[in-house]
Amino acid sequence: MDDKETEAAGERHRVIAMDGPAASGKSVVGRRAAERLRILFVSSGEMYRAAAWRAARAGIPWDVEAEVVACVRSADLRLEQRDGWIRLLVDGQDPGEELHSAEVNRGVSQVAKMPGIREILLGLQRSCARWGDLLMEGRDIGSVVFPETPYKFYLDASESERARRREAQGQEDAVGERDRMDSERSVAPLCVAAGAIVIDTTSMSIEEVLDELVRRLRQQGFTSA
Ligand code: DC
C-alpha cells in the first residue's frame, strides 16, 4: 500500500512532531515521552546520520553531492520496528553507535542539506505513520514531514548549554556550526513550525521537560492508547 492508499483507508496514526537544534533534548525527551505514552519513537536525525555513514564507508567526500546521493539511493534502506523504535537499516545493518561518531557529526549537516537525500528520507519518514501512533524528532517534522499534525513541539536551549551537554556525553560535536548549516539551508531548514509549542530547556531537567510536554499534550486532548 502506498501513502495515498493508506490515507484513503483512514489508517494514518497520530504523530507528535518534535523539532529543535542539536542537543536541545529532543532524543532523550522524545524517547522517554514515547515510552510514557506507549507510542513509537522515530529519530529522523539518525536517518540523516545513516545516509552520511553510508557515504563515509564508501569513501565519498561530503561535498561531492551527486556521488553521495547516488550512494544512498543505491543502498537497501528498510525500516525496522524494535523495542518501541522505528529504525533505518542500511543494507540489512543497523549502524548503531557509529551514527554518533565524530566523523558522522562532522559531515551529517552537509549531507542533510542535499535535496536528493531529503527526498529519499522524506518518503521513509512519512511511511512511519502507517506503523502506529508515534513521536518523531528532527528539524522539519512539524514544518515539512507532518505539517498537518496538531501536536507540534520545538525544544530549544542556549548554545553554550547545548555544547556543554554534548561534551558531558563525551561527544565531539560543533553544535553551533551544525545549527547554522541546518537553519540556513534552502530545503526544509530548521525553524519553529506554525503552531508549535516552544519549550526552552536550558535550565530544565529531563523530568521537568517530560512533564511539561505530557501536560501540554493532555491539554490538547492527546491521551495514551
Ligand atoms: O538530531 P541529530 O543531531 O541527530 O541530527 C543530525 C543532523 O541531521 C542534523 O545536523 C540536521 C539533520 N537533520 C535534518 O536536516 N532534518 C531532520 N528532520 C533531522 C535531522
Does the beta carbon of 49 sit less than 6 angstroms from any atom of ligand 1?
yes
Residue-wise pLDDT tens digits, 14-30: 999 999 999 899 999 99
How far does the centroid of ligand 1 lie from the alpha carbon of residue 113, in Å?
A: 10
Q: Is 213 exposed, middle or buried (0-12, 13-18, 19+ CB in 10 A)?
A: buried
Q: How far is the CA of 8 from the centre of ligand 1 (A)?
A: 30
- pLDDT tens-digit readout, 37-53: 999 999 999 999 999 99
Q: Is the CB of 105 under 6 A from ligand 1?
A: no
Determine the Cα angle at 18 with ends 12 and 23, to 5°: 150
Cell of 89: 537499516
| pLDDT tens-place string over residues 136-155 | 999 999 999 999 999 999 99
